[in-house]
Amino acid sequence: MPLPSYRVPTSYFYFCFMFGTDYSKLFNDLRLSRRGESLLNKLRQDPSTSIQSLASCRAEQKAFYRFLNSSKVKEELLSSEMGFRCGKAVRGKVVLCIQDTSEINLANHSNRLKASSGVGPIDAVKKGIGFKVHPCLVVDAYTCFPYGYAGIDLFNRTGVKLVTGYERSKMSVKDKESAKWLRGNQRAGNYLKDAASVIIIQDREGDIFEQFTPGALADNSFLIVRSQYDRILTSEGRLLAAVAQEPCKGTYTIQVDRDSHKKTATREAQIEVRYKKVQFKRPDRRPKDVPEISADVFVIEAREITENIEDPIHWRLTTTLPVNTVEDARQVIEWYTCRWMIEEFFRVLKKECYDIESSELEQGWAIRKLTLLIMDTILKLFQMHIAYSMEEGESPISSSIAFSDTELECLTVVNARLQGKTQLLSNPKQISELRGATWVIARLGGWKGYSSQRKPGATTLILGLQKFYNIYLGFEIQKDVGTR
């Protein structure tokens, strides 16, 4: 099935910022609606998981606690609302659905949290507790603009039973934790059914035979998974040797950024590409209801052949997309590299700014619902980041989509203070345009403003928003005093 080309129309950016959550219909409770919307606004203004910090008074603090602990506020409702909202946004578009799992480690609060309140054993700490987050992040396939989530799966381990490797191999995948990948595919099929094409991206953990069987995906969905297993092929032999024996189909050069952790410098990497069409045999001891043979899949090998490299790039990707040319293979590789986006979302959620693992809420269920609200807030920040990165010539986005009239007045005052003496240090846009407003927020967050500098990231924008709203509080007080 050929993939239609698509470019995000500028008009969509207006829709994405204007289309919000309607909690009044979601909970059928006006008070819960107001509390939810107020909490979302507070999370945007103050990157914190402390309800005391977010609330401006004791009454508001109580209202937030009641919202998060209410039995009417179900995480399934919050997740499905995100999915339906995203589905409306991607009609007729080619999108990537990036799946991954992150563990929320609440071991430091294990004495306070009850094991029966939505938490369970985790991998990070032997005797710790927590839960897992498995979002399906949906982004444009050609611009990486984030449209939303095809739902977010939250789950915890309960009643964990140790089994042998033999017993585990005979279990149905539906009875394993690995079923999260299949549930993600199902949500993508349900919520994104009106998209032109959905390319599901998964890391090694998603290399599950059942995903490659006939009929496993929706008609408009395709899969790209980083290979983990040396699978047995129907044509005899095994996967790794088969693709390695293929002649090189082409080479290309990419820029590899500096890695401070691995202490590697920026370099140009020459990549050699091979690909092969194959079918997998069903692994031994799989339940008999699993098909014996996979659907047709393509395996791509991208190997770095740059000389004198200690840790060269070497990827093997399995995909249900048709790969008939080097250009097809390179497109699949490029789409797989978009996985970095979901890692950035997790980093903002767990490490920088929001630090969900430090939440002092006493119920695991409440922390899980707060996690969903924060994930929705992080999405808006990345949308702002992408909007700032739009190319010149695109129709401008109105700042009124993200800021109120009074907030724009305050931004105008702050903007005048931040203007440099040279054009290089001046805001290139008006505050009435979102890019101009974002320039001010980024400067407040520590960004220098030079065009030669890397564009501001989500963390910088979060810090800038926090500083701005501190300024805005004083601005509002000054206005109130001046009008009396």
Long-range contacts of 204-209 (CB under 8 A, 24+ apart): 204/228, 205/101, 205/178, 205/181, 206/99, 206/181, 207/318, 208/173, 208/178, 208/181, 208/182, 209/280, 209/282, 209/283, 209/286, 209/290, 209/294
Q: 436 near 426, Cβ under 8 Å?
A: no
CA distance 287 to 292: 10
pLDDT tens figures, 87-117: 998 999 999 999 999 999 998 887 888 767 8
pLDDT tens figures, 321-354: 999 999 999 999 999 999 989 998 999 899 877 8
Indicate the burial class of 260 (C-beta count within 10 angstroms; 0-12, 13-18, 19 or more).
Answer: exposed
CA distance 478 to 475: 5
Q: What share of the chain is helix, strand, coil (3-state, %, to 5)?
A: 45, 20, 40
* pLDDT (average), residues 45-54: 83
pLDDT tens figures, 239-273: 999 999 999 999 998 888 776 666 677 888 899 99
CA distance 356 to 370: 8
What pLDDT is attached to residue 5? Answer: 40
Indicate the burial class of 477 (C-beta count within 10 angstroms; 0-12, 13-18, 19 or more).
Answer: exposed
- The residue with greater pLDDT, 58 or 128, is 58
Backbone phi, then psi, for 251, in 5-degree steps? -135, 160
Per the DSSP assignment, residues forming a β-bridge with 271 are: 252, 304
Helix, strand or coil, per DSSP, at residue 405: helix
pLDDT tens figures, 17-30: 333 555 556 777 78
Q: Please give the full DSSP string across 270-309, using - where no structure is assigned.
A: EEEEEEEEE-BBPPTT--TTS-SBPPPEEEEEEEE--TT-
Q: What angle separates helix 405-418 from helix 434-444, to the nearest 10 degrees?
A: 60
Pick the CATH number of 10-17+75-361 from 3.30.1540.10, 3.60.15.10, 3.90.350.10, 2.40.420.20: 3.90.350.10
Length of the chain: 484
pTM (2 d.p.): 0.84
Confidence of residue 449 (pLDDT cuts 50, 70, 90): confident
Q: 424 near 448, Cβ under 8 Å?
A: no
Classify domain 396-482 at the CATH class level: mainly alpha
396-482 has the same fold as 10-17+75-361: no
pLDDT tens figures, 133-145: 999 999 989 888 8
CA distance 250 to 269: 14
- For the chain, the domains span 10-17+75-361, 396-482
What is the per-residue burial (b if ≥16 Cβ within 10 Å, else e) of 353-366?
bbbbbebebebbbb
pLDDT tens figures, 371-430: 999 998 888 788 777 777 766 656 566 787 668 888 899 999 999 999 877 777 788 888
What pLDDT is attached to residue 8? Answer: 38
Backbone phi, then psi, for 47, in 5-degree steps? -70, 85
- Relative to beta strand 94-99, strand 197-202 is parallel
CA distance 222 to 208: 14
- The residue with greater pLDDT, 249 or 36, is 249
List, in order, residues 6 or more apart from 73 with CB less than 8 Å away.
Answer: 27, 32, 36, 67, 369
